[in-house]
Amino acid sequence: MRNLPKQWKWLVVTLCVVVGLVASSAIAQISQNESKTPLQPAPDCQLTGALAKLCPPTDTPTPTPPIIIDDKSKFFNAIATKLNPLPTPKTYEYLILQEYGGIFATTNPQIQLPPKVAFDTAKETKAFQDTLKQVRVNAGLDCFLQAPAAASFNTILRTTPIPLKSGKGKSDCLRTFETTSRFWHRSSNQKILQKIRQGQLQPIMRKVAPPGSSQHLWGLAIDLGQLNPRQTQILNQNGWFQTVKGDQPHWTYLGMSMEELIQLGFKKQVIGRNTYWLTPLLTDK
Ligand SMILES: [Zn+2]
């Protein structure tokens, strides 16, 4: 430097100052960028146990477990607004609901349900039947059903012949209390009826209903002869199902589709060539 001309000395000093300023500016920019970069989780955050406690909380939501409703609850939800009070287990009313009560789960607003699972007297039964719009079915003699059930059955008959069991409407279709009582006493007795009234299931209940408890009193059941698979399918498609276990000729108008029955908790049971749609209250296999 001492031997350089004066102008060269100034040039060297100026260059040093410029290079210094540029370098310090670059360092400042790098440190600023680093401060904006978020902290990366430490590799230990991939671990579990004590080390994981040191990691920041994650945003992963806790999965909610699905709510599972069993068939009995589905069924009781469906009948809750139609029966008050609801029958309690080990009573006569619960037994009747279990064996014949599928109809109380119907969602079809046209169907008129009785206010209780079983009537006690002929007078009480007649009073309910007098509130029904009863329509003649175009089969057999004097066969009447509740209006929506009759309309459905007559629609089927337009394309598909379906035989009644006896051909006598007063037996196969809407019955009086006196008729159901006569049928009961022809097949059973007072002693068995007493056990049923104590809430004990008796095998005869699947052939004939105790007086006052038959779906035939409500105009929602019909007894049919031997059917082929096509006839059975058409009945199902029009809201008719076999709902009393083992009572093969007995068909109930539920006015719903098979899919709805499943959603309402009905149990499907195939016995021989028959498919029954039973309440989920049945406990026997
Ligand atoms: Zn029947």
Q: Is the pLDDT of residue 54 over 60?
A: no
Whole-number Å distance, alpha carbon 197 to ligand 1 midpoint, is: 21
DSSP conformation class of 201? -
CA dihedral of 211, 261, 224, 230, whole degrees rounded to 10: -170
Whole-number Å distance, alpha carbon 242 to ligand 1 midpoint, is: 10
Distances (CA, A) of 78 to 69, 148, 204: 13, 20, 28
Find residue 268's DSSP bridge partners: 277
Whole-number Å distance, alpha carbon 149 to ligand 1 midpoint, is: 14
Q: Is the pLDDT of residue 130 over 60?
A: yes
The SS3 assignment for 209 reads: coil
Domain-located, residue 7: no
Q: Does the predicted TM-score (pTM) go above 0.85?
A: no
- Is the CB of residue 241 less than 8 Å from the CB of residue 254? yes
- Give dist(CA 47, CA 230) in Å, integer: 64
Structure-token pair, residue 256: 């719903």
Whole-number Å distance, alpha carbon 112 to ligand 1 midpoint, is: 18
Structure-token pair, residue 221: 């059941």
Residues 161-174 have a mean pLDDT of 93
Whole-number Å distance, alpha carbon 57 to ligand 1 midpoint, is: 66
Whole-number Å distance, alpha carbon 22 to ligand 1 midpoint, is: 102
Percent of the chain past pLDDT 90, that is, above it, reads: 72
Q: Which pLDDT belongs to residue 220? A: 98
Domain-located, residue 28: no
Residues 91-100 have a mean pLDDT of 97
Domain-located, residue 169: yes
Residues 206-210 have a mean pLDDT of 95
Residues 200-207 have a mean pLDDT of 94
Contacts of 178 (CB under 8 A, 6+ apart): 122
Number of domains in the chain: 1
Q: Which pLDDT belongs to residue 5? A: 55
Backbone angles phi, psi at 65, to 5 degrees: -65, 140
Residues 5-12 have a mean pLDDT of 54
Whole-number Å distance, alpha carbon 181 to ligand 1 midpoint, is: 13
Domain hosting residue 126, numbered range: 71-278
Q: Which pLDDT belongs to residue 96? A: 97
Q: Is the pLDDT of residue 19 over 50?
A: no
Q: Which pLDDT belongs to residue 50? A: 52
Domain-located, residue 64: no
Residues 257-280 have a mean pLDDT of 96
Whole-number Å distance, alpha carbon 180 to ligand 1 midpoint, is: 10
Domain-located, residue 112: yes
Q: pLDDT tens across 143-165, in order?
A: 999 999 999 999 999 999 999 99
- Give dist(CA 46, CA 195) in Å, integer: 68
Whole-number Å distance, alpha carbon 65 to ligand 1 midpoint, is: 44
- Give dist(CA 219, CA 31) in Å, integer: 89
Residue 116, class by beta-carbon neighbours within 10 Å (0-12 exposed, 13-18 middle, 19+ buried)?
middle
pLDDT band (50, 70, 90) for residue 67? confident
Contacts of 11 (CB under 8 A, 6+ apart): none
Residues 278-284 have a mean pLDDT of 91
Q: Which pLDDT belongs to residue 65? A: 78
Whole-number Å distance, alpha carbon 102 to ligand 1 midpoint, is: 14
- Give dist(CA 202, CA 194) in Å, integer: 10
Q: Which pLDDT belongs to residue 60? A: 72
Mean per-residue pLDDT over the chain, rounded: 85
**Best-predicted range by mean pLDDT among 4-13, 56-65, 86-95, 276-285?**
86-95
Whole-number Å distance, alpha carbon 216 to ligand 1 midpoint, is: 6
Whole-number Å distance, alpha carbon 172 to ligand 1 midpoint, is: 7
Percent of the chain past pLDDT 70, that is, above it, reads: 79
Residues 32-39 have a mean pLDDT of 44
Domain-located, residue 91: yes
Indicate left, alpha or beta for 219 from its phi (over 0: left) and psi (-120 to 50: alpha).
left
Q: Is the pLDDT of residue 195 over 70?
A: yes
Q: Is the pLDDT of residue 233 over 50?
A: yes
- Give dist(CA 144, CA 117) in Å, integer: 21
Distances (CA, A) of 229 to 9, 160, 242: 114, 12, 13
- Is the CB of residue 125 less than 8 Å from the CB of residue 215? no
Structure-token pair, residue 97: 């609901």
Positive or negative CA dihedral for 212, 214, 219, 223? negative
Nearest to 193, CA basis, from 210, 214, 217: 210
Q: Is the pLDDT of residue 26 over 50?
A: no
Domain-located, residue 242: yes
pLDDT band (50, 70, 90) for residue 140? confident
Whole-number Å distance, alpha carbon 275 to ligand 1 midpoint, is: 16
Whole-number Å distance, alpha carbon 30 to ligand 1 midpoint, is: 91
Whole-number Å distance, alpha carbon 16 to ligand 1 midpoint, is: 112
Whole-number Å distance, alpha carbon 151 to ligand 1 midpoint, is: 19
* CATH number reported for the structural domain that contains residue 195 in this entry: 3.30.1380
Q: Which long-range contacts (CB under 8 A, 24 or more apart) does 129-132 make?
A: 129/174, 129/176, 129/217, 129/219, 132/218, 132/219
Whole-number Å distance, alpha carbon 222 to ligand 1 midpoint, is: 6
pLDDT band (50, 70, 90) for residue 200? very high
Domain-located, residue 179: yes
Strands (E), 95-152: 134-136, 144-146
Whole-number Å distance, alpha carbon 250 to ligand 1 midpoint, is: 4
Report helix angle 92-100 to 190-197, nearest 10.
100
